Structure 1
Amino acid sequence: MNIDAALAERFAGAPLRIGTRTSVLAMTQAERVAALIGEFGVTTEIVPIQVTSDLWAGDLSEIGGKAAFSKQIDRALIGGEIDVAVHCVKDVPGDVPLPEGTAFGAYLEREDVHDVIVSRDGTPLADIPAGSLIGTSSVRRRAQLCIHRPDLRTERIRGNVDSRLKRLREQDGPFAALILARVGLQRLGLVGQVTEVLPVEFHTPGEGVVGMVPPVGAGALGIQARTADTPVMSMLDELNHPATAGHILAERTMLHMLRGHCNSPIAGYATTTPDGQLSLFGMVFDQDGSRFVRSQALGDPADPAALGSRVAADLLHQGAGRLITATRK
């Protein structure tokens, strides 16, 4: 039986239910997945699920770390209330395994991985006055910003992209600028808000360039399903982008071996070189960026996990474990 026929039989008289968070960005991403699934002749239904992290303005470590982004969605998937779940891969914890009986059946082709500056009045990062307040909830971004602009202050700003932009534009508001992911702004049609795109390459202090190495899983959407649901897993295999899947496996293997948690400033970015090799660059910082370790290696694209393990081992040899332990609360 071909995939279309198996899906038609599996979802005869009922839609395929897509679980997602409730934010505008999450719903937009789910709609993209629904359109792709619809090409198999399957009717879909998007099921918005309120997750703990979207109701919490404090430190994620106080509510279970990044797992708070997905535990309600995981429960719905395991319980059969939804058939697939759509996640931003960067929000999937590396120190907590996926629930037993579930797996990512597809990674969609990776999109933009750059971080950007969105400033109140269009001022680029280099010209923002000392002492100004920059909004970011990412420990990775905060550590890298501190390396280059230790004279700036940072403050956690949680919430949806649109609510964060609204806070930036508040009259007499506290923030001079925000650091955001360009891909989120692109998906929402808000890329015109961008003041400056930060390079993904690391630059040492004094070079005059503020780089922002991406998080593990940046720019990629993952579609999770029950492994026993053969028709759905077969469909997702058709949607999977092999190069992205390889990059993500290398990055997440590194993250898993580092045993990072939600307060660990960790960056990792895998790419394919022009000659077809797999490249992985990884960094671990302390909270203020005053100490960091970095590693880059090339590997066989047929074995991304081996490359991820090698980069993680090098980082640990340089002292990454001590930096990560120091960031635990």
Structure 2
Amino acid sequence: MEQVTTLRLGTRGTILALAQATHVADALHTAHPRLRVQLVTIPTHGDRWADNLGAGTGIKGAYIREIDQQLADGAIDLAVHCLKDRPSHAAEHHGVVLAAHLRRDEPRDALVTATGSTLALLPPASVVGTSAPRRQAQLRRHRPALRIKPVRGSIEARLQRVDSGELDAVIVSAAALHRTGQADRITELLPLDSHLPAAGAAVLAVTARPGDERTRDLVAVLDHPDTATAATAERAYLRRLGATCRSSIAAHATVAEDMVTLRASVYSPSGDRVLHTVVGGAVSQARKVGRDAAEQLLALGARKLLNTDTA
């Protein structure tokens, strides 16, 4: 510990990203009082072109690729991302490793409305903002009379579009609102039964270089075992499905009494079809649980729905 005085933590420059990075830095300092953590803000292609990125351009990769490269090149020592924003293959392909999963925050989606109306009570033809294919499919399934408008940009920009009257409502991550001190904006937490979240939702992941054992040892104290197990199952599910950022899929795993239970769904873009399964197994078999869930949905015809999403 005496040989390590400073770690450089790479992050995007958005308010949410900086809040998340500060949280990680504070947690590291609490665990290692003699350790200094320097935040390094890295502009990314995704941030520069967020409003122009098309739905099929691999937006998740656009947000993390440059930070991963800085990490692999040694310009920074670690980085923090929302796990749901990392494609299931990204760490391996970009030459970095997942060093810690922080304890999962609130995983549910949040509805924010100008009037305080819940989703069930929004009048027909109300305009709801979301670009996520999963959220769009779920909205079309449960409230087909609503109008959906794609929205991108920072969480502040999305909320402003509700405040300005451009949107009647927006669906965003509840965890993101909590992390940016805006939990009071939540009108309704959408239930897991009807609005299963994205795989990796509300999990902060810290990445490091594979050969940097010293940094990985320092970061390991932040790893929350149950969250890591749940994330392992969820990402194994994503990988087996071959899911992309255009896939209308959801997954949420929980851990109790040395067992992991994964609830997983695949939706048609229109929301008129949904395939769902629940798979459980020992914590030590988390990857198998994820793969088994994917296999079950593939056997039910998930590939056809996924191909429709990406066509």
Under TM normalisation by the shorter chain, which class is it? over 0.9
Residues 308 and 142 of structure 1: CA distance in aligned 2, closer, same or farther (over 3 Å): same
**Alignment-derived partner of residue 213 in structure 1:** 196
Whether the 8 Å CA contact 1:286–1:292 is kept in 2: the answer is yes
Residues 155 and 58 of structure 1: CA distance in aligned 2, closer, same or farther (over 3 Å): farther
**Alignment-derived partner of residue 186 in structure 1:** 178
Give the letter for the 2:129 counterpart. Answer: G
Structural mapping, 1:158-307, within 5 Å: 158-170=152-164, 173-201=165-193, 211-273=194-256, 275-307=257-289
1:210-242: per-residue Cα shift (whole Å, max 9, x none)? x21010001110000001111101112222111
1:41-71: per-residue Cα shift (whole Å, max 9, x none)? 2111101111222232145544334111201
Alpha-carbon distance in 1 for matches of 2:88, 2:131 = 18
Residues 181 and 100 of structure 1: CA distance in aligned 2, closer, same or farther (over 3 Å): closer
Whether the 8 Å CA contact 1:70–1:92 is kept in 2: the answer is yes
Alpha-carbon distance in 2 for matches of 1:183, 1:60 = 25
Residues 253 and 123 of structure 1: CA distance in aligned 2, closer, same or farther (over 3 Å): same
Alpha-carbon distance in 1 for matches of 2:214, 2:143 = 51
1:95-139: per-residue Cα shift (whole Å, max 9, x none)? 545345420110001110011111111111111111111001111
Structure 1 residue 37 and structure 2 residue 28: aligned? yes
5+ long unaligned stretches in structure 2? none
**Alignment-derived partner of residue 136 in structure 2:** 142
3-state SS, counterpart of residue 267 of structure 1 = strand
Alpha-carbon distance in 1 for matches of 2:310, 2:53 = 12
Give the letter for the 1:188 counterpart. Answer: T
TM-superposed deviation, 1:16: 0.9
Alpha-carbon distance in 2 for matches of 1:72, 1:83 = 14
Output the aligned Cα RMSD. 1.4
TM-superposed deviation, 1:79: 1.2
3-state SS, counterpart of residue 131 of structure 1 = coil
Alpha-carbon distance in 2 for matches of 1:53, 1:212 = 26
**Alignment-derived partner of residue 42 in structure 2:** 49
Give the letter for the 2:268 counterpart. Answer: D
Alpha-carbon distance in 1 for matches of 2:35, 2:115 = 46
Whether the 8 Å CA contact 1:143–1:288 is kept in 2: the answer is yes
1:134-163: per-residue Cα shift (whole Å, max 9, x none)? 001111111011111111111111111111
3-state SS, counterpart of residue 281 of structure 1 = strand
Whether the 8 Å CA contact 1:285–1:323 is kept in 2: the answer is yes
Residues 167 and 61 of structure 1: CA distance in aligned 2, closer, same or farther (over 3 Å): closer
1:75 corresponds, among 39, 49, 69, to: 69
Whether the 8 Å CA contact 2:100–2:220 is kept in 1: the answer is yes
Whether the 8 Å CA contact 1:106–1:240 is kept in 2: the answer is yes
Count of aligned pairs between the two proteins: 308
Q: What is the TM-score normalised by the length of structure 2? A: 0.95
**Alignment-derived partner of residue 11 in structure 2:** 20
Whether the 8 Å CA contact 1:60–1:262 is kept in 2: the answer is no
5+ long unaligned stretches in structure 1? 202-210
Alpha-carbon distance in 2 for matches of 1:94, 1:137 = 20
3-state SS, counterpart of residue 138 of structure 2 = helix
Amino-acid identity (%):
34
3-state SS, counterpart of residue 219 of structure 1 = coil
Give the letter for the 2:240 counterpart. Answer: M
**Alignment-derived partner of residue 207 in structure 1:** none
